[in-house]
Structure 1
Amino acid sequence: MTRRSGRLHKRSENAPGQKSKVAKQSNRKRVQPLSKLHCEKNQLVLEGITRPCVLVDTPMKGVRIDGDGGSLVRPSPLPHLGWGSSDDVWVKMVSREQSYRHSKSFMQKHPTLQPRMRSMLLDWLIEVSDEYTLHRQTFYLAQDYFDRFMSTQSDVEKSMLQLIGITCLFVASKMEEACPPKLWQMAYITAGTYYKEEILKMELIILKALRWNLCPETAVSWLQLYFQMASMSVDSDLLEPQFPQDAYIQMTRLLDLCILSINSLDFQYRVLAASVLCHFLQQEAVEKLSGLSKDVLQPCLNWMAPFVETVGRCGRAATRDFASVKDDGHNIQTHTDYMTMLKDACKNEADSQFPTPPSSTEKTDAH
């Protein structure tokens, strides 16, 4: 429902001066290449090259669409649409979700990789998106491309992750943005680690591996749809987003944090988005507008609880103004200290798996 959101807010004034803007010193901290990023607290380093790996451009095997718990909902939870059948739109959206499969099991194909490397890569892509004022949908498309591409490969080395990630973002920006960053800008942001020719070569490999299937319903597009349905007026047709922007920013911060965890891939994007919304609206209302039952949502809600706790301790996310997209700032992907937040959330998650033992006064007599 949010496809090509960037084209609705064309940033034509940025096009001629974008190159000079990136080349000159920015007031913000310059984005560093992933290969040089360090997380000293947990000693995560992605430096060094081990051995070259061969990427396969063989297309993914066809996926048969099967029904699962709460997948297809009839009647459609979408309201009446003046421009099309709500039932047809809903079926197409859910069918697309089922055909664009993702799973955290792809890590088993890459023995030298660890889940935290994916987290660091996605965190860096959020930084790049922030630096180039890209839309949230652009980042989430890149995240989906990366996870699905890695499912088609095996034995990918960590030295290749940055190239794969920046190429996925390059493809996503061309799909979503009215004025996507130039190829040289994507190479520039890696601090010379990769050349333009390498990105172009990787682009073709990724496109072939994904069979040019580049239009998934992302987690953030589901979130925007649900929140728009919850906030819509009687005569709304869902063509133009109409919802409280500040509340949406709080929701997307929680979603951003969750998507960095590889365990988020245990859930469909629409389940993940609905679970985020449940922490801001009544669960019964979310179940009605999403068409998802409590039994479908509850496992995701339980998993998400430590992330909600972490976000709650960080206070409210600040609303930022973007001169180039004055009316669309809430849809621009922004970065914060997600890696520290993720570490805290994972600690909360681990602690919750070990119940607190009863006190001595609560213990029953053994006799």
Structure 2
Amino acid sequence: MNFSKSQRSRASKENMAPSARVDTLQRSKQRTVLGVLSENELRGRSLGQGGQCSKHSSTSESSQLNCLGCASSSSLDVYVEEAREVVLAASGEEVVGYHSYQDEETNALHNEDMAIMLELSSSPCQDASTPSESEEVFCLEYAGDIHQHLRNNEIKFRPRPKYLERHPEITDDMRVVLVDWMAEVAKEFELETETLHLAINYLDRFLSLIGNVKRGKLQLVATAALVIAAKYEEKSPPKLDQFVFITDNTYTKKELVRMEQAFLSVLGFNLAAPTINSFLHLFMAIESVCPNTKNLALYVADLSLLEMDPFLQYSPSMVAAAAYCLASYTINTSLWPDSLVAFSGYTMAEISPCLTHLYKLYASAKSRPLQGIREKYKNSK
């Protein structure tokens, strides 16, 4: 489906009567996961098959993984378009701080700098889709503080890697099915990528803090996580009725509201969790990449949400760094730039274990039975 057709579809849905909208949702692709979860089976378990590469791979897995450790000219054999022109690196110009000065000469210079900044930011000829130079400089000025704040909080808001041991009725395979379904719902409602990442963080943290969630309530828990994330992140979040319809009316609106209340109580209303997506965007702001590299990095970052083991063992910032490296190497045969080593404190040696796991997941993605995230990135946009 192309972008314009999607827009027309969304516009028509907004103008239709509520009853018609319900019928449309009910006629859409069945997304309820309860039947699949009750079977407790997932054919073609991706990581259970090891690091199986796609059918098009022309080199062995061992040689491909060895490529990740060095800037080799050999290819990872991923079929992507040729990289477009690399976006200009972010400006490193120094910005005069806006402090109070006592002598008149310094005040005059300060006012002149302010006038220049205002002139730059209000230029009518500037493309609205491109941040101004002054905005870019200000972003870089605070990037270090933002990064440190996120790194501190990612420890605080991190789920337990082995939390499913507290839920005898839930398996790893069930969670894979559930996350894939959440990705489809996010695509259906045209939610932001950050909303999906937050929802999965809420889901994992909630299940880390309680025990013995029944299989029949798992989809309700996931839906409540999406509701809360959408309210937190989206400008116009979907209505509760729409979330009820997307589960094929498996749960009532009252049940969803009660689960939302339980969620917020367990999480202590701590919703500003750093995600892989937020770190990845920060890294790409510090060291710009071409559009192909950006989209590939976002894709593999989304793929990492599917698997608890091993990705919950790594911090979100580490997975984001690995996603950046994998995409950068695939498109440009470069890995982790010196600017990001200095900015993040991560060396290539520290990133390599996570990078290897992420590559194995990426190489096997095409052969997986669940394709919700791959479908999301098949859009030409």
TM-score (norm 1): 0.64
Q: Where does residue 218 of structure 1 map in the other structure?
A: 275
Higher-Rg structure is 2
Within 5 A, what are the aligned runs for 1:200-219? 200-219=257-276
Q: CA deviation at 1:306?
A: 1.0
Deviation digits for residues 313-351 of structure 1 (CA, Å, limit 9, x no counterpart) = 899953345xxxxxxxxxxxxxxxxxxxxxxxxxxxxxx
**CA distance 1:201–1:40, shift in 2 (3 Å):** closer
* Aligned residue in 1 for 2:138: 82
Partners of 2:322 and 2:354 within 8 A in 1? yes
2:301 aligned with 1:255: yes
Which residue identity lines up with residue 104 of structure 1 in the other structure?
P
**Cα 1:116–1:18 shift into 2, 3 Å:** farther
Give the 3-state SS of the residue equivalent to 1:101 in structure 2: coil
Q: 1:276 matched to which residue of 2?
A: 323
Equivalent pair of 2:196/2:226 in contact (CA under 8 Å): yes
The alpha-carbon distance between structure 1 residues 129 and 31, as it changes in their structure 2 partners (threshold 3 A), is farther
**Which of residues 183, 200, 222 is equivalent to 1:165?**
222
SS in 1 for 2:147: helix
- The residue type equivalent to 2:29 in the other structure is R
Would you say 1:319 and 2:372 are equivalent positions? no
**More off after superposition, 202-211 vs 289-298:** 289-298
The RMSD of aligned alpha carbons is 3.3
Note the residue ranges of structure 2 that are not aligned, 5 or more in a row: 1-9, 44-90, 95-136, 329-333, 369-373
Q: Within 5 Å, which residues of 2 pair with 1:80-159? A: 81-82=137-138, 85-159=142-216
Q: Hey, what's the Cα distance between the residues in 1 that align with 2:352 and 2:17?
A: 47
Deviation at 1:187, TM superposition (A): 0.7
CA contact (8 A) 2:301 2:323 kept: yes
Deviations 1:191-229 (A, max 9, x none): 111000001000110101001000111111111221232
Task: Identify the range of structure 1 (97-106 vs 176-185) with the bigger mean alpha-carbon deviation.
Answer: 97-106
Q: Does the 8 A contact of 1:31 with 1:127 survive in 2?
A: no
Alignment-mate amino acid for residue 284 of structure 1: W
**CA 280–18 in structure 1, closer or farther in 2 if over 3 Å, else same:** farther
Q: 2:358 aligns with which of 304, 315, 340?
A: 304
Sort the Cα spacing of 1:252 and 1:284 in 2 relative to 1 into closer, same or farther, 3 A.
closer
**What CA deviation, in whole Å up to 9, does each residue of 1:25-73 have, x standing for no partner?**
37995242111347999557xxxxxxxxxxxxxxxxxxxxxxxxxxxxx
SS in 1 for 2:327: coil
Q: Find the counterpart in structure 1 of residue 46 from structure 2.
A: none
Cα pair distance change 1:279/1:85, threshold 3 Å: closer
Query: Post-superposition shift, 1:183?
Result: 0.6
Alpha-carbon deviations, 1:244-286, whole Å to 9, x = none?
Answer: 4443222222222221011110100010011011112222315
SS in 2 for 1:279: helix
Give the distance between the partners of 1:193 and 1:219, measured in 2 at CA. 31
Aligned mates of 1:253, 1:261 — CA distance in 2: 14
User: Which residue identity lines up with residue 22 of structure 2 in the other structure?
Assistant: A
Cα offset, 1:89, TM superposition: 2.3
Determine if contact 1:246/1:319 at 8 Å carries over to the other structure: no
2-side partners of 1:25 and 1:320: how far apart? 25
Structure 2 length normalisation: TM-score? 0.62
Which ranges in structure 1 are unaligned for 5 or more consecutive residues? 1-11, 45-77, 232-242, 322-367
Looking at secondary structure, tell me which structure has more helix per residue. 2
Give 1:258's aligned amino acid: S
- Larger mean Cα displacement after TM superposition, 15-24 or 263-272: 15-24
Structure 2 CA distance, aligned partners of 1:147 and 1:228? 28
Q: Residue in 2 aligned with 1:55? A: none
> How many percent identity over aligned positions?
25
Q: Distance in 2 between matches of 1:245 and 1:174?
A: 29
Distance of aligned partners of 1:91 and 1:181 in 2 relative to their CA distance in 1, 3 Å threshold: same
Please report how far the alpha carbon of residue 140 of structure 1 lies from its aligned counterpart in structure 2 after TM superposition: 0.6
Alignment of 1:10-21 (within 5 A): 16-17=14-15, 20=18
CA distance in 1, matches of 2:185, 2:33: 10
Task: State the shift of 1:166 in Å.
Answer: 0.3
Tell me: CA distance 1:172–1:18, structure 2 relative to 1, closer, same or farther (3 Å).
Answer: farther
Q: Across the two proteins, how many residue pairs are aligned to each other?
A: 267
Q: 1:92 to 1:310 in 2, by over 3 A?
A: same
Provide the secondary structure at the position in 2 that maps to 1:284.
Answer: coil
SS at match of 2:274: coil
Q: Deviations over 1:282-304 (max 9, x none)?
A: 22315345331233212212222
Residues of 1 paired with 2:27 and 2:323: CA distance?
30
